[in-house]
Structure 1
Amino acid sequence: MDDHALVRGGLRAVLATTGDCEVVGEAATGEEAVALVPSLRPDVVVMDLSMPGAGGVEATRRVLAVRPEARVLVLTTFSDDDRVRAALAAGATGYLLKDAAPEDVVAAVRAAGRDETPIDPRVARALLPAAGHRTAPDGTGVQLPPRERDVLVRIGRGLSNRQIATELGIAERTVKVHVGSLFRRIGVADRTSAALWARDHGW
């Protein structure tokens, strides 16, 4: 969803070459995007933040209210942390900048479709909570049990609890326990912050 026809056309052309991504529709405004969702039932919505009428953040919120199972991937020129945080708080799954390579855009769309969290590395550091830096600025101040370390690495890859449970051969409820524990140890409150903490500290 983008107000520039050239951008929409370019994105459509890139995705059309993949063989596994089907473009079911496009919109120039947030209101158009929300109106199309019930009939088109998209799995992934690629959303610009700057559009006429309802901006991308509000459009993301409305799209997910209509179709909670959809995944919204933000594709924008804005990298300031306020906009990034607002988009993720509205429910966006991932955040990519418009100068990304075409193959990176395709990879991000696929990752969003797998319920992963593709975040452009150039905006990732802006999302790290201050508490994470105070707890372990160089990653040496936190001691994680081996299983929590395994879980953190997979959160860093954007895997869901169910996917982590499958990879590690443990129950999903056990993964939830490990997630809660490691959140407390590294001083974060959500999966995105944990993934960014893991990336920042080389996990």
Structure 2
Amino acid sequence: MTVDDHPVFRGGVGAMLDTQGDMQLVAEASTGREAVDLFKVHRPQITLMDLRLPDISGLHALELIRQDFPDARVIVLTTYKGDAQALGALKAGACGYLLKSMLCTHMLDTIRAVHAGQRRIPPEIASEIAEHAGYDALTLREIEVLRCVAAGNANKMIADQLSIKEETVKGHVKNVLSKLGANDRTHAVTIAIRRGFLELH
């Protein structure tokens, strides 16, 4: 099953699968909720799931599917190389992780490997995860504060928006800089986007 909100992309993946004698596309979903519903009906052996979907995220859809079907084999598709996204997907139970730019060269091999019970992560993402393995992950609150920083807000405005004290905001910013190894707020935002903690909309 393919899960992606772009029909052209789903069509391209379907066309590649059609050329393979040992693969068959049983369902296509354009949203996360549709993916959860279609999974229950078709029980695909492999699901290719985009992380960015219009309703719920691919990560949430993956979690919902695996609640009912713990053996579900899901390969996450993304345009992001960041380790935070990859780690989140792997913790949620993804068996594979593919960058959309690699589909032509690695998709079929990855599907076969995951079907055979292996896990597949591209080397550049694996090295990104390894590089940051010693660092503490950002908390949800720290990510919220960083999102406000990225929007250009000063500490006082962030404190008002999140209904916390300005001192607390300063503490969170300090923790974020330390965890990301950033020199200043702008540097922290740049790192967070590269590693997938923040998304650019």
TM-score band, normalised by shorter chain: 0.5 to 0.7
Of 38, 41, 54, 1:39 maps to 41
CA–CA distance in structure 1, aligned partners of residues 18 and 49 of structure 2: 18
Counterpart in the other structure of 1:58: 60
Of 98, 102, 106, 1:100 maps to 102
Counterpart in the other structure of 2:113: 111
Report the Cα offset of residue 109 of structure 1.
Answer: 0.8
Matched, 1:130 2:134: yes
Report the Cα offset of residue 69 of structure 1.
Answer: 1.7
Counterpart in the other structure of 1:89: 91
**CA radius of gyration, larger in:** 2
Counterpart in the other structure of 1:70: 72
Query: What secondary structure, in the 3-state scheme, does the structure 2 residue paired with 1:57 have?
Result: helix
Report the Cα offset of residue 21 of structure 1.
Answer: 0.9
Counterpart in the other structure of 2:153: none
Which aligned runs of 4 or more in structure 1 are off by greater than 6 angstroms?
Answer: none
Conserved in 2, the CA contact under 8 Å of 1:95 and 1:118?
yes
Report the Cα offset of residue 103 of structure 1.
Answer: 3.9
Deviation by residue 1:82-128 (Cα, 9 ceiling, x = unmatched): 11111111110010100114241011011111111111112111111
Identity of aligned residues (%): 40
Q: How high is the TM-score relative to the length of structure 1?
A: 0.62
CA–CA distance in structure 2, aligned partners of residues 101 and 70 of structure 1: 21
Report the Cα offset of residue 67 of structure 1.
Answer: 1.8
Distance change >3 Å, CA 61–CA 101, structure 1 → 2: closer
| Structure 2 unaligned blocks of 5 or more | 136-201
CA–CA distance in structure 2, aligned partners of residues 102 and 5 of structure 1: 17
RMSD of Structure 2 on Structure 1 (CA): 1.3
Conserved in 2, the CA contact under 8 Å of 1:37 and 1:67?
no
Quick one: which amino acid aligns to residue 47 of structure 1? M
Deviation by residue 1:8-50 (Cα, 9 ceiling, x = unmatched): 0000111111110111101000000000111101111100000
Number of aligned residue pairs: give it. 131
